[in-house]
Amino acid sequence: MTTITQRRGIGASLDRRDGPQKVTGTAVYAYEHRFDNPLYLFPVQSDVARGRVTRIEASVAAALPGVVAVLTHENAPRLADTSDKELAVLQASDVAFRGQYVAATVAETLETAQYAASLVRVSYDEQPHDVELRADRADLYAPDHVNPAYPTDTEEGDFDRAFSSAAVQLDETYTTPMEHNNPMEPHTTVALWEAGDLTLYESTQGPAWTRGTLAQVFGLDRDRVRIIAPHVGGGFGSKMPHANTVLAALAAKAVQGSPVKFALTRQQMFSGVGYRTPTIQRMRLGATQDGRITAISHDVVEQTAKTKEFAEQTAVATRTMYATQSRRTTHRLAALDVPVPSWMRAPGEAPGMFALESAMDEMAIRCSLDPIEFRIRNEPEIDAETGLRYSSRNLVACLREGARRFGWASRDPRPRARQEGRWHVGTGVASSTFPVIRIPGSVARISYAAGGRYVVEIAATDIGTGTWTALAQIAADALDASVEEIDLRIGDSNLPDASVQGGSSGITSWGSAIFEAARVFRDLHGHSPSEGDRAEAGAPDNPEAANYAMHAFGACFAEARVDADTAEVRMPRMTGVFAAGRIINPKFARSQIIGGMTWGLGMALHEESLVDARFGHVLNHDFASYHIPANADSGQFDIAWIDEEDPHVNPMGSKGIGEIGIVGSSAAIANAVYHATGIRVRDLPITPAKLLR
């Protein structure tokens, strides 16, 4: 269904249109929208993990000069819909996790609001809490489905028989810790409630979603709610509406007519705006002596919140990666007294592929095969999950091209065989994959304006990914115009609806809408339109989705150096080769992949949210102690693309690349660390403490 005949926009490494604004500090983020006399909100958070608020003493706080309001569950405006417990802020006295908002101060300065919040005294009827995820819990349960709508369990063939009779077996458990999204820009809302209309200047991955959610929660018509988000400083899955947004809107309702500003502190970003569940993953692989996989099982234990279920789809990639005659995948959840886990950087694929691709490395070694050859031997013909052919699948080409670029051929497979100075040096490889996701509901409007310009409108966002430019490139090709003729308008829910910028789905979903709107525009107005001509159209369903399994694939290679004295791990170089259809803007794509592989580096070596079960909240809730990679941690990145023509995925022929960079890269690093040291670390992150002997 690719309809491009001549490309003028797609494929060009254009600079970002918003680049000059960003580097001069004039791109306006949520907190920076200017108002006369704004008010500032600071939350009071629960310091018990479960129980009930029995008393709130707020008179001292309320009496502070400059304090306008102190909101509690006793006096906050009522919400119309409290069915989503995560969003039912200050509606009841019960406390479901430590860090929950139990009050908020609103004041004329941020400092006053913060000080006032510290003076609010909250008494609790504290109940015993339970925040510990273990695989041996008796109360693990199978959810109805896993995110967003995959089956919880799958079974092909007779796994037990195939595994027990396999010549080569592996049965190992891999774990990943709780991790927090931590975009650079904290979650921020400026809320204004005026004459029955609610306007939010919001740091969000989805203006339309946020509008719909706020309208529902407050019982407003959708057209009374407006979300403005021209620039967003990262989201990583966490910038969907959470309790913080509702709290700001509640305050705005309480103080009618005054804008209320609420930006989370870094510490506050470790409770209540999502995180990745810890995972406990038992992997079993069976193979013939010559390395043909006969049995795979992937059994996942992870957590959710008692208040609301989120089931990470950790084993889903295992359903499609490799050929086998038997396969079993399961997901089991423990519901705990914790904040609601949520989407974070390739939910499902990132932790799941750490386990699968570590296990594949271990299994290749047990079969005395090169790990690339082992993967190639188990390349499937069709997608076992759906029984469909792949619209395109170039994993093998990625592995081979990556091996060539990385210099894999000269690798001595023996672990701990290479030492340079005080460094143990090792290399590792892993496969990557990410599905082509199209979220329905996006609509684009195209108008012909004075000066021969096409105005393209869609309520998409740019969370740092390059949307401002990439959609203009797509619109140019859709209209057979030049990129310079396109005026793009995004980042405002008053524009035609757009799906959320998540699941690496933005370009597919929005680009499909733009192509459809361009087709309708040309049908209506031809190639010589008049000023004021316009057309609006939604992204159609993709009929090819019934015929093909659609996934991007890739291969990640890593060189690890492990200090012989300190066990510090350094990554001087990583290579990533991806087959992701047509690349809209190679420059941005390279940045996306470098970012994604750096996420993988952080996941492999650094990131871990530490919870003290006695208290129930994250202790290392700042960047001094929750480590993400610093510049000095990232070495050389060699990024390349396999030319892939996929006429089935969407009109652009593109596959989402926002998240695939993290998938597999943590396993490639773990495999490289094993090769360097002979030590297999199966629980992330790989810290010196786990390697020191």
Q: Does 624 bind another protein (CB under 8 A)?
A: yes
471 Cβ neighbours under 8 A, 6+ residues apart: 456, 458, 460, 488, 490, 507, 510, 511, 514
- Positive or negative, the Cα torsion across 199, 202, 207, 213? negative
Q: Does 114 bind another protein (CB under 8 A)?
A: yes
- Positive or negative, the Cα torsion across 7, 23, 661, 678? positive
Among residues 26, 123, 566, 636, the one that binds another protein under rule CB under 8 A = 566
Q: What does the alpha-carbon distance between residue 397 and residue 577 come to, in Å, rounded to a whole number?
A: 9
Minimum gap (Å) between residue 686 Cβ and another protein: 10
Given the residues 202, 349, 516, 659, select the one marked as catalytic.
659
- Bridge partners of 388, per DSSP, are 383
Minimum gap (Å) between residue 40 Cβ and another protein: 13
Q: Does 180 bind another protein (CB under 8 A)?
A: no
Strands (E), 551-649: 551-563, 569-579, 634-641
Q: Please, are residues 388 and 382 in contact by the beta-carbon 8 Å criterion?
A: yes
Residues between 266 and 305 that touch another protein (CB under 8 A): 267
Q: Does 184 bind another protein (CB under 8 A)?
A: no
Q: Please, are residues 528 and 514 in contact by the beta-carbon 8 Å criterion?
A: no
How far does Cα 540 stand from its chain's mean position? 25
Q: Does 60 bind another protein (CB under 8 A)?
A: no
- Measured from the Cβ of residue 171, the count of other Cβ atoms closer than 10 Å reads 12
Q: Does 631 bind another protein (CB under 8 A)?
A: yes
Q: Does 568 bind another protein (CB under 8 A)?
A: yes
Minimum gap (Å) between residue 563 Cβ and another protein: 8
**Cα dist from 656 to 348, 508, 582, whole Å:** 16, 7, 10
Q: Does 629 bind another protein (CB under 8 A)?
A: yes
Give residue 3's identity as a one-letter amino acid code: T
Among residues 319, 375, 621, 648, the one that binds another protein under rule CB under 8 A = 621
Among residues 165, 547, 625, 636, the one that binds another protein under rule CB under 8 A = 625
Q: Is 126 a catalytic residue?
A: no
Minimum gap (Å) between residue 343 Cβ and another protein: 25
Minimum gap (Å) between residue 259 Cβ and another protein: 22
Minimum gap (Å) between residue 662 Cβ and another protein: 17
Nearer Cβ to another protein (450/624): 624
Take residue 33 and report the two structure tokens written for it. Answer: 């929208």
- Bridge partners of 55, per DSSP, are 123
Nearer Cβ to another protein (92/613): 613
Q: Does 615 bind another protein (CB under 8 A)?
A: yes
Minimum gap (Å) between residue 605 Cβ and another protein: 7
Nearer Cβ to another protein (199/609): 609
Among residues 20, 531, 610, 678, the one that binds another protein under rule CB under 8 A = 610
Nearer Cβ to another protein (283/567): 567
User: With contacts defined by CB under 8 A, how many residues of the chain interact with another protein?
Assistant: 38
Question: What backbone torsions phi and psi does residue 590 show, to the nearest 5 degrees?
Answer: -60, -45
Minimum gap (Å) between residue 627 Cβ and another protein: 5
**Cα dist from 440 to 335, 384, 403, 464, 512, whole Å:** 30, 25, 38, 22, 10
Take residue 637 and report the two structure tokens written for it. Answer: 């990145």
Q: What does the alpha-carbon distance between residue 440 and residue 365 come to, in Å, rounded to a whole number?
A: 44
Determine which helix (DSSP H) or strand (DSSP E) holds 509, and give its type and residue range: helix 506-525
Q: Kindly report whether the peptide bond that precedes residue 339 is cis, defined as omega within 30 degrees of 0.
A: no
Q: Does 34 bind another protein (CB under 8 A)?
A: no
Minimum gap (Å) between residue 114 Cβ and another protein: 6
Nearer Cβ to another protein (122/315): 122
Stretch that binds another protein, among 67-75, 308-316, 626-634, 649-657 (CB under 8 A): 626-634
Residues between 442 and 501 that touch another protein (CB under 8 A): none
Minimum gap (Å) between residue 620 Cβ and another protein: 6
Determine which helix (DSSP H) or strand (DSSP E) holds 123, and give its type and residue range: strand 121-126
Nearer Cβ to another protein (536/633): 633
Among residues 71, 360, 605, 667, the one that binds another protein under rule CB under 8 A = 605
Q: Does 627 bind another protein (CB under 8 A)?
A: yes
Q: Please, are residues 593 and 576 in contact by the beta-carbon 8 Å criterion?
A: yes
- Which 8-state DSSP code applies to residue 618? B
Minimum gap (Å) between residue 44 Cβ and another protein: 11
Stretch that binds another protein, among 78-86, 335-343, 365-373, 606-614 (CB under 8 A): 606-614
Of the candidates 626, 609, 605, 625, the residue with the CA atom closest to the CA atom of residue 687: 605
Residues between 143 and 172 that touch another protein (CB under 8 A): none
Nearer Cβ to another protein (414/693): 693
Q: Does 606 bind another protein (CB under 8 A)?
A: yes
Q: Does 109 bind another protein (CB under 8 A)?
A: no
Chain length of the chain: 693
Q: What does the alpha-carbon distance between residue 91 and residue 63 come to, in Å, rounded to a whole number?
A: 24
Q: What does the alpha-carbon distance between residue 30 and residue 233 come to, in Å, rounded to a whole number?
A: 9
Q: Does 91 bind another protein (CB under 8 A)?
A: no
Q: Does 636 bind another protein (CB under 8 A)?
A: no
Question: What backbone torsions phi and psi does residue 576 show, to the nearest 5 degrees?
Answer: -130, 125
Determine which helix (DSSP H) or strand (DSSP E) holds 55, and give its type and residue range: strand 51-57
Nearer Cβ to another protein (337/477): 337
Nearer Cβ to another protein (421/543): 421
Q: Does 567 bind another protein (CB under 8 A)?
A: yes
Nearer Cβ to another protein (459/567): 567
Stretch that binds another protein, among 219-227, 508-516, 524-532, 617-625 (CB under 8 A): 617-625
Q: Does 47 bind another protein (CB under 8 A)?
A: yes
Nearer Cβ to another protein (50/98): 98
Q: Does 617 bind another protein (CB under 8 A)?
A: yes
Determine whether 110 is exposed, middle or buried from the number of CB atoms within 10 Å of its CB (0-12, 13-18, 19+): middle
Stretch that binds another protein, among 112-120, 287-295, 395-403, 469-477 (CB under 8 A): 112-120
Residues between 233 and 272 that touch another protein (CB under 8 A): 267
**Cα dist from 672 to 357, 429, 577, 662, whole Å:** 12, 7, 17, 16
How far does Cα 481 stand from its chain's mean position? 33
Among residues 22, 224, 366, 570, the one that binds another protein under rule CB under 8 A = 570
Q: Does 118 bind another protein (CB under 8 A)?
A: yes
Take residue 431 and report the two structure tokens written for it. Answer: 């496969």
Q: Please, are residues 471 and 488 in contact by the beta-carbon 8 Å criterion?
A: yes
The torsion angle over the Cα atoms of residues 378, 379, 381 and 383, rounded to 10 degrees, is: 100
Q: Does 412 bind another protein (CB under 8 A)?
A: no
- Bridge partners of 611, per DSSP, are 618
Among residues 55, 134, 404, 422, the one that binds another protein under rule CB under 8 A = 422
Q: Please, are residues 597 and 637 in contact by the beta-carbon 8 Å criterion?
A: yes
Q: What does the alpha-carbon distance between residue 108 and residue 112 come to, in Å, rounded to a whole number?
A: 7
Residues that bind another protein (CB under 8 A): 47, 98, 111, 114-115, 118, 267, 422, 563, 565-568, 570, 605-606, 610, 612, 614-615, 617, 619-622, 624-625, 627, 629-633, 687-689, 692-693
As annotated, the active-site residues are 659
